[in-house]
Amino acid sequence: MILTVTLNTALDLTYDVPKLVPHTSHRVGDISERPGGKGLNVARVLSALGHETAVTGFAGGSTGAVLRELLAGPSPDGSGAPGTAPAPITDALVTVAGNTRRTIAVVDRTTGDTTQLNEPGPLVTADEWTAFLGRYEELLAGADAVALCGSLPPGIHVGAYAELVRPARAAGVPVLLDTSGEPLRRGIAARPDLIKPNADELAQLTGSRDPLRATRDARRRGAHGVIASLGPDGVLAVTPDGTWQARPPARVLGNPTGAGDSAVAGLLSGLVEGLGWPDRLRRAVALSTATVLAPTAGDFDRAAYEELLPRVVVEEHAPAA
């Protein structure tokens, strides 16, 4: 079982409009509603790949009830591996008094651009945090890997991810951290197995805009491996076993929402399957690119994924001098 942690879950709403024009009214075309937050997005892709997952974090109020109802229902995208049904996703969320946030993505059909509106999330109390920590440690006992993903809701201290990395490391469970800002800075000091910042998050962490230099610097700060998302240029991986860059075979146009979460799912699924780094990175890039090509934000296009996977280019870098 792969465990994903989403402390700031969300109900994701996607509105499709012919053209987004500021200061005007719009008629919305297609509307989709789904459980969201980075870790839930990761779990959905893992499920489609055939991996049993459990999701934990917080959910509350009427929005949280809708999120959990949708989480219990069938996968809406049908993007599982050929010939297989999606694997189970276990709801291990902790109930809070506050209302789960919503995120609204407005997709402009003319340009393909997406405008994102993110609510802050509910205030989590000290007692609710304590209840979550107990649930988390119970779940670690049956986990093959854990992903700690996304922003922190109000009330959660900035060192929360560091507090969650340590018991995973003590239990021998590989842990991937995907967050940003000060939570990333604090979390990396607890020595997670992997971090997956994008280029902006990496520059904020290290002060460097050079991807290779910044990725190596991030590893020196405590992470055993660093996988930097470079957008259309794929990913750069600096690990104890070597350094690689993986690129899609061509640039694609589409909605990038959820592409980084699909990459995390590719990395984690490859890890638990015992794949070598080149194959893990190839899967991560193919999944993230197929997510950009999907018609609904956060899905991945299964046919595109299967076509892209053997064509992702993976190059090994020479060791640093």
The radius of gyration of the chain's CA atoms, rounded to the nearest angstrom, is 19
Q: Where are the alpha helices (DSSP H) in 189-310?
A: 199-206, 211-220, 259-272, 277-292, 302-308
Which of 178, 193, 261, 301 is catalytic? The answer is: 261
CB-based contact 233:288 (threshold 8 Å): no
91 flagged as catalytic: no
| Residue closest to 265 by CA, chosen among 241, 296, 287 | 287
Share in percent of the chain as helix, strand, coil (round to 5):
35, 25, 40
Q: Is the dihedral of CA 42, 45, 47, 52 positive or negative?
A: negative
Q: Closest Cα partner for 84 from 44, 52, 54, 49? A: 49
Helix (H, G, I), strand (E, B) or coil at 176: strand
Task: Return the active site residues.
Answer: 261
